[in-house]
Structure 1
Amino acid sequence: MKLVSVETPEKSVCKMTFSASPEELEAASNAVYERTRASYTIRGFKKGEADRAQIEADRGEHTFWYDAINDLMDKDVPALYDAAMAEHGFVAVDNPVYDLVSVKKDEGFVATATVALQPELNLTKTTGFTAECVTPEVTDKEIDNVLERRRAAAAELVPHKGPAVKGNIVHIDYEGLLEGKPFQGGTAKNQAVQLGSGRMIPGFEEGILGHKAGEEFEIFVTFPNRYHAKDLAGKPVVFKIKLIDVCVRQIPALNSDFAKKVANLDTMDELRAQVKQQLHDGKHAGALNRAKDQILTQLADASEGELPSVLVETTYQQQMEQIQQQLQMQRLSLDRYLSQIHETRESFTAKVRSSAEKTARVHMALLQIAQQENLVPTEEDIDKALAARAERAKKTLEEIKEKSDIPAMRRNEGIRKAADWVIEHSTIEDKAENQ
């Protein structure tokens, strides 16, 4: 491969164009074929027996191109890229974004690498910012809620001799029979079931009501028509039940015994005071982080200059991915979330893009400050951090270095140190919520 051109299509953006000859593409494609041929099953041939021409006739002439392109890019482009960056004195602030421009059998392929370069910002102010750390007051209701959760966590199951009723927790052995025969997943020993919870199939929990510990009986139920196991969906079955015990969930009283048990304190007043302090500490930590964010936002406002568009776009994509991941954890789609907060996709993405621009501007300002104040880690600092990582991972330093993005490590650590420096040289005033 060769470097065709180096351009700066906009300020603080470098675009490199690389090309590979038809011969290079062919050789790399053949190497991919040799490496993967055993995985192909082509009609009329046993797995792995078809030759390259037969595979390409069935799957297309491009079958091996894209792995070949990746192989060539991985092998040749890093050295070409680093040499070009050094020759032009460019300083990247992000990883390059690669795009395939064209690929043809008789022409080879052309690809580009676009990377954000460090912009030169006019920092009108780097110290002396001010922010208020307003810690919300801890209410009695919040303390009560924590104590109730602790009570629930400290609850004990106490067996009783009466018949099972809703709310009881029972322990049972059961065996399910379909047409007189046991079925997969239908048997359990010492299974805990909270009656009335609805976690078992309809009719199962109801069939236990009224029975006492030690009884053995049968329950006749029908699986729902949409049950996940298709061989059971809509089928009537019988469960043989042995009721081991019937328990009442006993929640402890809020007294000195409870304080001693959960916190090794003598009185409830001491426990309430401890909970209040813990809640205050949590609220204060959150308020302090918000105040620090305010200072960094002020730094962004004091940083004049154009940012590389590719950096803003990358930051925007990262933020959108984080939002999507958070929504997936909550089993929400973006459209459903937007309907809940009564916002359009256009207005929401505009806000995220604005946030991405602000984040990128803060990072670039901090990186510039890190360089001005000699806060960027040295090679020795990086080696020390990598050595510690290697020790934790039980690998050699060389193995860790090979898999680490050292320029990104250096940038990120410099940004972190610069953020601490700016905050240390600013003022955060502690205030109570009602001051």
Structure 2
Amino acid sequence: MKKKMIILLLTLGILGTAMGCGEKKDKTEDKEGTKTEQSAQEDFKLTNKDGKVVAADINKIEDYITLGEYKNLQVTEAPKASVTDEEVENSISYKLMSQYKVEVTEDRAVQQDDIVNIDFTGYMDGEEFEGGSAQGEDLLIGSGSMIEGFEDGLVGHKKGEEVTLDLTFPVDYRATELQGKAVQFKVKINSISVKPELTDEWAAANTDYKTVEEFRAAEKEAMQKSIDLEYEGQVKSDLFSMVVEATEFKEYPEALLEQGKKDVRERLDQMYQAQFQMTLDDYVKQQGISEEEVEQVLTESTQTYLQQNLIVQAIFNAEGIEMSEEDYTAEEAKFAELNGFPDVETMKMYYGDLNVLKDSVLWNKACDVIVETATVTEQEPEADTQAAQE
């Protein structure tokens, strides 16, 4: 279990970001976090000694892997989703609530459809329970996003008031340890706001569009683009996984492996300090995990990470792709546009670690090569399949 916990953090926090799907980096870090990021950027080297951008700087990559088939692959995917009008309305409603809300200045109590900003703490048997507290949370009264009685219990109270709510979790609540449990929430109302009325006048004054319909159409287009990008990313990930399965990994370059383990350990240490306010060494000691177990996890995780870069480089070699700094800059700009970033600098801020960004850009370039000759088939919708069987 302890080993699995470490592997999970490594996979989500490090390997996931290499595929371009990492979590957004919070730019309000403390001074120590900022220094770490700056140090990582100072150590970043885009090109090798020959002035080329490579995924793995190895002379004879065939000594380490035998690249599997990467052309003419076939993959079956779930049907690409289409945005519904209801989803568009929900998205707009959320934006109106979170981005465009108007604070109520008059001295009045909370009403249905108000947006209240609250701090709350949940207690069970007089003790705070995990996951039952939040600070500065926006809540739409009437949304049903909290357990029964929570939202209604705030109606009639004013800004600045502290309210105590005696409630009971539903018997079918998703967290089994809370099912049917009596709890108490202490809630402070920080502010009361309302969503603006969605009119053409409002749209013209607050958005880049002249009418509500134009605003809706643009929102739908943006949402569909996001779905399409997610679908494309899934296709690339699935195809790349097929290449990994077909590739023989003979051994791993010792220098890259050792450096990779150091990098993974450093990133994992940063994650523990950020999330749990303790170093990796402190966590390992606290949990009684042996150094041998840590070394094994670091080695396995780094090998998985290196597999990606070795395959990417092998594909580049097979295709005769040599990337100069100028070539990379063009690919980087394409990658930023592909993933919905307004510009490359914003994308760099999102990633934080430029090495991870570089790996993502090169991975995407290799996937473009794989996709060129691949055949992608969409599964029959489940309902249609059942109907056909009947």
TM-score by length of 2: 0.42
Higher helix fraction (1 or 2): 2
Task: Compare relative contact order (CA 8 Å, sep 6+) and give the higher one, 1 or 2.
Answer: 2
TM-score by length of 1: 0.38
Larger Rg: 1
